[in-house]
Structure 1
């Protein structure tokens, strides 16, 4: 029992094996490693929050004086002496020309010649329509006869002609439809032969229904048979009314439909 659980023995398992050394790959080293090391060696955080360890005290000779903190302009150098700079806002403008001076004629700085006298503008014609002086443009007042001189003055416009033609066509179409409807709904008299033929047809139909009604059983219990009996009775009553109508009135009018 125990022998079956042991692994199978092998002669080659007794031979000692040489241990193989596992060759590890070279470790990755960043190319920026020297720069990072040099930055870490630099002293950057000295006196970051507490300030310098020792502060130089001010000298007693350098005390605050009057107007020592005012902004002072830089001193002029040797080359800038004698050069006057004038602000454009405070610069004096040229004097006003005298009455005896002649104006400059010909081409000016702008490169064009200014006209000496401008042409006067023509006044717009107006119309005064009240004693108080109310004015309005003459062109839009309606007093200028510009529409009378047109070629189509006094004629019916084309759009009104088209509208009247469309209305006339619609009226004709409506009249035609009404006439057709009246012809369809017109009554026509039934001839004697047709009346007798219809009467015989109704009587034959009544006989067929009556024969079928006579075949019904005496005792009817189911709902379907009761409904069938009721339908036969209604049909026979309607046929009786139609037969009486045809026999009573010799002249009968019917529609075409």
Structure 2
């Protein structure tokens, strides 16, 4: 084990904590360049003060006089009143007339007649249901049948009567229209029947010619579909031709 002896040193352990820590360097403060330009361009207003140090008082002889205060402006008008010496005299007040006499009414007789003609107040039927005298109105209590004794009990409501009446009137109107309606069935003439038959035969010939021009070999699906469709159309035309030839009278609906 080695021992190190330090003979020359100027360190003191009692003064280590007394020294403050070194200050941290601060970052420079941000300064706006635009603000400097505005301050340089700004013109200070002249003659700006904080006011009087002491408020000056008015002299005693300069008191507010009548008509010198703040008043509302007078409204100007172009009207001019022309006054002449020949004005009519002021009319006099008419003399007071006699008051109309009030008719003398004998209120005792009037009250007696009203009392004779008035009808007594109807007593509403009530029901006492406890020994302490608790009173209950019979109307609406359910003790007496009221709904079944009404004059309109068991009758059809008026709105249903009106609705049924409207439906009945509409039904009668439709029936009258159907009775007076003309028949839509029409008999075609002989010329029209012959022209219809000629047109059907002409279409059949055209379709038959196109059918005979089809190839004999039907090896693809489109050929098979086209041939079957033309066969169906030819059969339908033959049925129509036979129907027109067998029926001399033909009716159509317009």
Interval of TM-score (by shorter of Structure 1 and Structure 2): 0.3 to 0.5
